[in-house]
Amino acid sequence: YQLNMEDLERGEELGRGNYGTVTKVLHTPTGVTMALKEIRLELDNAKLNAIIMELDILHKTSSSSHIVDFYGAFFVETCVYYCMEYMDPGSLDKLVNFSFGDTVPALHPQSDDEKELVWQGVPEDVLARMAGSMVKGLKFLKDELGVIHRDVKPTNVLINFRGQIKLCDFGVSGQLEKSIAKTNIGCQTYMAPERISGEHQNTVGTYTVSSDVWSLGLSIIEIAIGQYPYPPEAYSNILAQLKTIIQDDAPTLPADRYSPVACEWVASCLVKAPTGRATYAELLEHEFIQIDEAKAQAEGGDTVDMAGWVQTALKFREAKVAHSQALAAAALGPLK
């Protein structure tokens, strides 16, 4: 079926990026809940048509369980819209942005020892499952669709209640990429050093598949520690940040919380020279991912409780939100 705006009932706003807004919508003819992404562009109909045609390749992603499903694209006036699978807990950045050991009063304390929730971060087996899923998604895009993601970062890694990890927002449309030319690269960059220094800027393959491997490594560290891995001093100023990425040693996983195997896997993504970085095949063959695969095969089921972890994280997030609202209300109280 052809999607159009008349059939979509708008729900809450899910988030806002540099180029547009994502809204939860209900497709009334089918009853399917979707995420609608709106990208504001000032383009003529010919260009918009070209983008819609290029986005059509997204229909082929349904054969991968590590890529969000695509339902269709259309344009209204000068905006491009596309509908994708709605992932309820949303992007990983929103689920892990707490520091290890952080505490918050429990929202519904059931027993004495549950008065306070403690953020335990992302356990290694969960992190391995996330990392493995991301690599499988990226490998699928490259091998099956010939697509390089180009925007790997935690806001583009989505999770559902079953704990399945899926990628979104990859560069399938050259015309779309050109039209939203990154004038604003944001205050946190996941760009690999070779993209910043632009050594290969004028060659067609400037953005190689290994640039995505760098962004993958950086994203995994961010997911593990709950914050962008470069120190805040470095990202108060974008030029200082870019210089840090080029000059300093790459960030690492905290060795006190993750095994040497996990740390080594991440380090193999964050090699400064693009040719020295691990390939997707190597990343999948690595012990960090293989331990998870072997366990899953031996026990013939899901050995990592991804769904349970999602619940724990949501519970913590919910308590955090309630707590900060209570604090804000208390602070405002005397003013009333």
Q: In terms of Cα–Cα distance, which of 112, 158, 113 is closest to 133?
A: 158
**What letter does residue 250 receive in the DSSP assignment?**
P
The reply to whether 72 sits near ligand ATP by the rule CB under 6 A is no
Which does residue 197 bind out of ligand ATP, Mg ion, none, counting CB within 5 to 8 angstroms by kind? Answer: none
- Say whether residue 193 binds ligand ATP (CB under 6 A): no
Task: Indicate which of Mg ion, ligand ATP, none lies near residue 14 (CB less than 5 to 8 Å, by partner kind).
Answer: ligand ATP
Residue least distant from Mg ion (Cβ): 169
168 contacts ligand ATP (rule: CB under 6 A) = yes
Is 158 a binding residue for ligand ATP by CB under 6 A? The answer is yes
- Name which position in 52, 67, 69, 90 contacts ligand ATP (CB under 6 A): 90
58 phi and psi angles, rounded to 5 deg: -60, -25
User: Using CB under 5 A, which residues numbered 165 to 204 contact Mg ion?
Assistant: 169
Query: H helices of the chain, where?
Result: 45-55, 93-96, 124-145, 174-179, 193-197, 209-225, 232-235, 238-247, 260-269, 280-285, 287-298, 306-332
Task: Indicate the SS3 state at residue 329.
Answer: helix
Indicate whether 215 belongs to the interface with Mg ion (CB under 5 A).
no
73 near 83, Cβ under 8 Å?
yes
Check if the beta carbon of residue 282 is closer than 8 Å to that of residue 268: yes
# binding residues, ligand ATP (CB under 6 A): 24
Site track 224-263 with ligand ATP (rule: CB under 6 A), x = hit? ----------------------------------------
151 catalytic? Reply is yes
C-alpha distances in angstroms, 35 versus 29, 59, 75, 318?
16, 15, 15, 22
Considering CB distances under 5 to 8 angstroms, the limit depending on partner class, which of Mg ion, ligand ATP, none binds residue 225?
A: none
Q: Is 37 annotated as a binding residue?
A: yes
Q: Which of residues 24-43 bind ligand ATP (CB under 6 A)?
A: 35
Give the position of tokens 């405002």.
Answer: 332
Query: Are 66 and 136 within 8 A, CB to CB?
Result: yes
3-class SS of residue 21: strand
Q: How far is the CB of 196 from ligand ATP (least distance, A)?
A: 17
85 lines the binding site for Mg ion (CB under 5 A): no
Query: 122 contacts which partner out of Mg ion, ligand ATP, none, CB within 5 to 8 A by kind?
Result: none
84 lies in the binding site for ligand ATP (CB under 6 A): yes
- Within 13 Å, how many C-alpha atoms sit on residue 125's CB side? 15
Site mask for ligand ATP (CB under 6 A), range 295-334, x = bound: ----------------------------------------
Residues acting as catalytic residues: 151
